[in-house]
Amino acid sequence: MGVFDKKLEKDLTKLGIATISDLLFYFPFRYEDFSNVAKIVDLKAGDQISIKAEIKEIRAIPGFYGKKISRAEAVVSDDSGSMKVVWFNQPYLANNFKKGDQIFLAGTVRFYKTLQLQNPVYEKIRDEDQISVHTARILPIYRLTGSLSLRALRTAIYNALQAQSTVEETLPSEIVKDLGLLDITTTVKNLHFPETDTLLQQAKDRMAFEEIFFAQLAIQKHKNELGQQKATPFAFNKTLVQKFTSSLPFELTADQKKAIWDILQDLEKPQPMNRLLEGDVGSGKTLVAFTAALEVVNAEKQAVLLCPTEILAQQHYKSALKYFEEYSKISLILLTSKRAILNGKEIAKKELLQEIKHGGPQLIISTHAVLEKNVEFEKLGLVIIDEQHRFGVRQRALLKQKTKDIHPHLLSMSATPIPRTLRLTLFGDLQISQINQMPADRKVIKTKLVPNLERPAAYEFIRKQIGEGRQAFVVTPLIEESDRLGVKAATSEYESLQKEFPGLVIGLLHGKMKADQKEQVMADFLANKINILVSTSVIEVGVDVPNASVMFIEGADRFGLAQLHQFRGRVGRSEFQSFCFIFTENENEKTLERLEKFTQTTNGFELAEIDLKNRGFGNIFGEEQSGFYYFKYFNYDAELSDKAKYWAKKILASDPKLIKHPDLFKKIEDKVIHLE
Ligand code: ADP
Ligand code: MG
């Protein structure tokens, strides 16, 4: 940006702020109302207030061998009275002010021997008309990184707003006018420095509309485009499917059958299927996908199963070898950056790529490696994306480039439950199949919110389970904003568990590790070379580790229930009774109630619905799951969503490719969508 000092710019970059415009659109995540400027005489403990006062005296008090905290102490007064102010650990503040300075102070009033303000936010008043930035207003609170202070960020934004009097409108002006929305300049100003409650609310409403409008625009555009694409239809082959499903060692659940039926019907159409298969971890999505693949491959076309990790691809490949053993006509291919396997035998990668180029009845199980340029298909009939949220738009686009005019059918799979209300509002016409029931032989995972006093007993329990040959997961939360990948939290948990369980092998998995390292740790865990695996929440382990029977979740209050449910689903994948223990330091009654609910409910959709009510849309999926729409302001609001849809359709009707709306195009181009 070149307008701020180097350190500030570096801090801002860490927040993803690279331009002034990024800065202006970096909105607060909450507000504190200090607009109430009080008189000192009226104050009582607990009041959250601002005062306007004069410094009567101020001095620095040094610390004393850890017994006393260094601090600055002041006495301030207004025309009604005087009071004490303390800033702990900031003795240097005594040099910032002098007797007679006029200041705003904002904070919560405390009683300790006498009424006082402790560590209040301060702001010098230089002239009487000065607008307060840090005090005496509805104060914006922003997410920060390590060394960036709220004060510095707020000042930077304030200065940016002073320097730039207007912000370029982001919505078509006819919409702003027709819906009576606040213009973008007023919106941005009031989101940062609200003039009144009403204006703040209007600004939030405008952003809510904007969010849902862009989402609807992307969805509608995508839908229109899909409708025009052509795909190879596959006639339902009843004999084949029945033979396959009856050869399985178990009965498919009713939901699995229904999902298969939905998919086979889609495959009969000459337009590409675009279906999302949702089902809890362990609900048996893979077999549904295999059944669809069988029909396509049997008709001499290629099917790709795309997996987010090497190890997951290998796991699926192993299952495929087993399930398709009788089908000698089908070529089973594993293609990853490390492996090139045809029908169970390692071959030269070059040779394998030739095979794929020639085509025929092939099921290709792969990682990102299949997206590389040198991979060419003969006839790609079906693409299945496992753990779809792990893939971005670009990766899908790459796959698309490999298929010329005839598009493959697309099936994505996900364990993220989209709550019904959200689906109806946003994805009203999305094709989804859900698996709501678990295979019958599965035992319900016993879940408990463990009081901290019982932690030793819980550790004892882990020890016992491991003694019986089982394994355990420990998930740690993100605690500090600066620890975005959770490296710090996981590492310290890892170290403390090493002390707690000296005889056991503890593993560590976090997002800073290289892909290879991660794979290795997962492989070791799968091979039971690791007893306890500590992992950040950022890492999702989509791998089946049937031997793991205990899931520990630390800082459980920091997760949505749907997210907790995902973690829990990592255990309970075999005949062993499994357990999920959750912990929290938080004693808030509502929080505990929410967590208790989790211990009593095993249905992911129900939990997602509770999240939706409690935490709003944005939080269901965890922050910014790649590509999935992340809503900060829009909440469940069918009416607003319909309005947005109406306008999206209207604009697309006259400008289907958004050629006349380049700004809108830019907004949505990298956002399309996990509609699939
Ligand atoms: P996910 O939905 O998480 O991808 P998987 O497809 O990996 O789940 O299935 C989990 C396990 O359940 C696998 O070992 C699979 O063989 C098994 N399984 C799938 N369907 C059934 C069923 N109907 N009855 C019993 N076991 C099943
Ligand atoms: Mg799976």
Going by alpha carbons, the residue nearest to atom 19 of ligand 1 is 284
Provide the β-strand partners of residue 507.
533
Structure tokens given for 123: 């702001």
* Predicted local confidence at residue 351, as pLDDT: 96
Confidence of residue 33 (pLDDT cuts 50, 70, 90): confident
Phi then psi dihedrals of residue 461, to 5 deg: -65, -45
d(CA 206, CA 30): 17
Asked if 348 and 241 sit in the same domain, the reply is yes
How many Å apart are CA 334 and CA 363, to the nearest integer?
9
Q: What are phi and psi of 509, to 5 degrees?
A: -135, 120
Write the burial class of residue 479 (CB in 10 Å: 0-12 exposed, 13-18 middle, 19+ buried). middle
CA-nearest residue, atom 4 of ligand 1: 285
Of 245, 248, 286, the one to substitute when testing ligand 1's pocket (max ligand atoms within 8 A of C-beta) is 286
Specify the residue with its C-alpha closest to ligand 1, atom 5. 284
Mean pLDDT of the chain, nearest integer: 87
Tokens of 338: 């490390």
Q: What would the mean pLDDT of 461-467 be, rounded to a whole number?
A: 97
Q: How remote is the CA of residue 249 from the centroid of ligand 1, in Å?
A: 11
User: Is the same domain home to 288 and 421?
Assistant: yes
Asked if 72 and 84 count as a contact pair (C-beta separation under 8 A), the reply is: no
If you average pLDDT over residues 148-155, what whole number do you get?
A: 85
Q: Do 421 and 300 sit in the same domain of this protein?
A: yes
- Judgement on whether residues 569 and 422 belong to the same structural domain of the protein: no
Closest ligand 1 atom to residue 542 Cα is 3
The ligand with the least distance to the CA atom of 280 is 1
**205-209, 466-470, 665-669: least confident range:** 665-669
Residue 416 CB less than 6 A away from ligand 1: no
Distance 386 CA to ligand 2 centre (A): 6
On whether residue 261 sits in a domain, the answer given is yes
Give the domain extent around 44.
Answer: 36-136
pLDDT tens digits, one per residue of 358-381 = 999 999 999 989 988 899 999 899
| Mean pLDDT, range 594-612, rounded to an integer | 87
Ligand 1, atom 18: closest residue by C-alpha: 284
User: How close is the Cα of 315 to the center of ligand 2, in Å?
Assistant: 10
DSSP string, 507-546: EEE-TTS-HHHHHHHHHHHHTT--SEEEEETT----S--T
Residues 489 and 386 in one domain: no
Q: Mean pLDDT over residues 642-658, rounded?
A: 94
284 lines ligand 1 (CB under 6 A): yes
Cα of 277 vs centre of ligand 2, distance in Å, is: 11
CATH number, domain with residue 517: 3.40.50.300
More confident residue, 142 or 259: 259
Q: Which ligand is nearest to the CA of 283?
A: 1
Position 262 scores a pLDDT of 96
For residues 258-283, give the mean pLDDT. 92
Structure tokens belonging to residue 379: 């006839």
Which of 446, 473, 611, 470 lies closest to 554 in space, CA to CA?
473
Ligand 1 center to 436 CA (angstroms): 13
C-alpha 312 – ligand 1 centre gap (Å)? 14
Task: Give a yes or no: residue 612 inside a domain.
Answer: no
Residue 575, ligand 1, Cβ within 6 A: no
Distance 658 CA to ligand 1 centre (A): 43
pLDDT grade, residue 619 (50/70/90)?
Answer: very low
Best residue among 287, 288, 388 to mutate for probing ligand 1's pocket (most ligand atoms within 8 Å of CB) is 287
Tally of domains in the chain:
3
Within this chain, do residues 343 and 418 fall inside the same structural domain, yes or no?
yes
Please check whether residues 344 and 474 belong to one and the same domain.
no
Token readout for 109 is 């009033």
Answer yes or no: is the C-beta of 253 below 6 A from any ligand 1 atom. Answer: yes
Most confident listed range (390-394, 424-428, 529-533): 529-533
The mean pLDDT value for 86-103 works out to 89
Say how far apart CA 483 and CA 151 lie, in whole Å.
20
**CB 439 less than 6 A from any atom of ligand 1:** yes
Q: Kindly state whether residues 390 and 459 are assigned to the same domain.
A: no
Whether residue 651 contacts residue 172, with contact meaning beta carbons closer than 8 Å, is answered with yes
Residue 386 in contact with ligand 1 by CB distance below 6 A: no
Determine the pLDDT at residue 130.
56
Question: How many angstroms separate the first and last alpha carbons of the chain?
Answer: 38
DSSP type of residue 146: T
Q: How many residues does the chain have?
A: 676
Query: What is the predicted pLDDT for the residue at 428?
Result: 61
pLDDT at 616: 61
pLDDT at 23: 92
Give the residue from 254, 315, 310 showing the smallest Cα distance to 290: 315
Sheet of 345-346: strands edge to edge? Answer: 345-346, 340-342, 331-335, 362-366, 302-306, 380-385, 409-414, 274-279, 431-435
The reply to whether 399 and 451 lie within a common domain is no
The whole-angstrom separation of Cα 386 and Cα 308 is: 7
Residue 156 lies in a domain: no
pLDDT band at 628 (very low <50, low <70, confident <90, very high): very low
d(CA 262, ligand 2 centre) in Å: 19
Q: Is residue 426 over pLDDT 50?
A: yes
Q: Closest Cα to atom 10, ligand 1: which residue?
A: 282
Q: What is the pLDDT of residues 529-573, one digit of tens each?
A: 999 999 987 666 567 788 999 999 999 998 888 889 888 988 988
Q: Whose CA is nearest to atom 12 of ligand 1?
A: 284
Coil/strand/helix, residue 149: coil
Sign of CA dihedral 452, 456, 459, 460: negative
Q: Report, as an integer, the average pLDDT of 209-221.
A: 89
Ligand 1: centre distance to CA 390 (Å): 20
* 280 and 325 share one domain: yes
How confident is residue 116, by pLDDT bands cut at 50, 70 and 90? very high
Q: Which of 376, 408, 435 is the last residue of a domain?
A: 435
Q: Which of 601, 628, 658 is the last residue of a domain?
A: 601
Q: Please tell me if the CB atom of residue 407 comes closer than 6 angstroms to any atom of ligand 1.
A: no
